[in-house]
Structure 1
Amino acid sequence: MKPELAAVYHELLRRQKAGEKSVYLSDETLQVLRDVAAAAEAEAPAKVEPVAKEPAPKPKVTKPSRPTAKMANEIPEVPAPPSVALPDGTKAERMKFLREKILSDDWCQSQLKPGKKVVPGIGSLEAQIFFCGEAPGAEEEIEGEPFVGPAGQLLTKIIQTMGLSREAVYIGNIMTYRPPVPGPVGNRPPAATEMAYCLPYLLAQLEIIQPKVIVALGKTALDGLLGADPKRRMGKIRGHWQSFNDISLMPTYHPSYLLRNQGLQAKRHVWEDVLAVMEQLEMPISEKQRSYFLKP
């Protein structure tokens, strides 16, 4: 407190204690008070108006990106396909040799993420039907078995509706490993070079099993077997018999297509292809089976 103001303050305090309720102030004293007040106001920090805070931006949630065409092209140079010479012996002995060769393939192993598995085919060595897909997915490379995810569960239902069991047929893929993708999730179709590398393993499985019919599940699998054809359309070729290595080949939609297209027509198309396979193998077909997925 400035000396002038302190003197006035103490004098007023003294007079209040003395019982005085009013006091006369000279013009000089009033001017001192005015000067002190003006000086105090000038020295006071400027009043800062509070700045309205902008609302904090909402955290951006990024969905896992699906593999793009650019990602699909970022494929390492694939080595020459392996040579597979099956030994003499029983089907079981030859398949044991082949599975060990597939599971120990250095290139296939190098394409896997830690903890994932190579996926050879599985099923009866006496199977008449070989269901062939394109490549393992996320669930398959964990289990080391083809078609165990949602699409595989639907394939199992189709097989059971045929009057067969999963153990009575053979199920496999052209690829023995899941095509790697840059991110933690997602799938991409295998490249032609990747399928070409794994094709000898598929041919060896066919040589051992000697099925009467191959069911190609989806266009990618069909392209892997017959060679890519940009003019090929599943909507036109499905249900029409083809041939691969002198084995009857029936193209049909992949089960994942049915998971995306729940309409009755899509289900009937696949079932008609299945009925054609059953007729080719002279399997018994009931009227109930023939009427599945028909419009009422």
Structure 2
Amino acid sequence: MESFPQHTQAILDRVNAVIDGKPEAARTALTVLLAGGHLLVEDVPGVGKTMLARTLASAIGGTVARIQFTPDLLPTDITGVSVYDQARREFEFKPGPVFANVVIGDEINRASAKTQSALLECMAEGQVTADGTTYRLAAPFMVVATQNPVEMDGTFPLPEAQRDRFTARISMGYPDAAAEATMLADHGGGSPLAGLGPVVSVADAARLVEHVRGIHVSDAVREYIVALGAATRSHPQLRLGASPRALLQLQAAARAEAALSGRDWVLPDDVRTVAVPVLAHRLILDRRAGASSAEELVRSVLSDVRVPAEPSARGR
């Protein structure tokens, strides 16, 4: 796809222009988009989680919906509800905000687990089932959710099944002094997104995702991904390792990383680059074993599992 570098660079430039000093977060967000996945952005309030989601959404043509998650939010407030039409004497399905190309779930862990579970079918299968009828969602479809740390008041922990639907999790962190000064100078007068249109169309975004699906993965790299997953499942400091879905999404993210690097084949280094954001949030630590952070355990697994020889463009 000849236009791939131009389109992806345009999206990156847009995100970096709005979110000062966070190029790694911007690249990971784009990687998840290209992988056809969903992104979880976790950090304390006020560091740009929602702005990152809004910026990525604004860069993509198509429909955008925002859901503000609150304790009283109901599952039907997300997926939609059937309403009785008295004139026609039948029920009519009214689609909810999840029927959009990009769905921004703001503070997702302020809603109950029951409400959070309304996204499970949407994120895994790209559809909504209501009253026995299945409705397909828009394509491409991406959920960009933000959450506050679970230690903060009024939050609910995300269920394991919900976390496993997110391709990657990132933390924003505070910007450095220079980036913060730039933010005050450039964005102090209003919204940095005011007047900005999309940089790619929805059709372009769909073609980018389709292009990434065609990136070649050698048998050796697949075996490496499987070995990483097996290492997490047998790790003495982990109570729950990576699921088969996690390995599928690790492969998809590695394909996106390879494409962004200008290659049409995946290297082991692509897998290693995306492994921490893709795997860490899915792992459950065994506190009795004195486990450190999930991120450190993923890095430990990466150092322990043998890296295969890198396939070349000719010998892939």
TM-score (norm 2): 0.23
Larger radius of gyration: 1
**If each structure's strand is expressed as a fraction of its own residues, which one has the higher value?**
2
TM-score (norm 1): 0.24
The structure with higher relative contact order (CA 8 Å, sep 6+) is 2
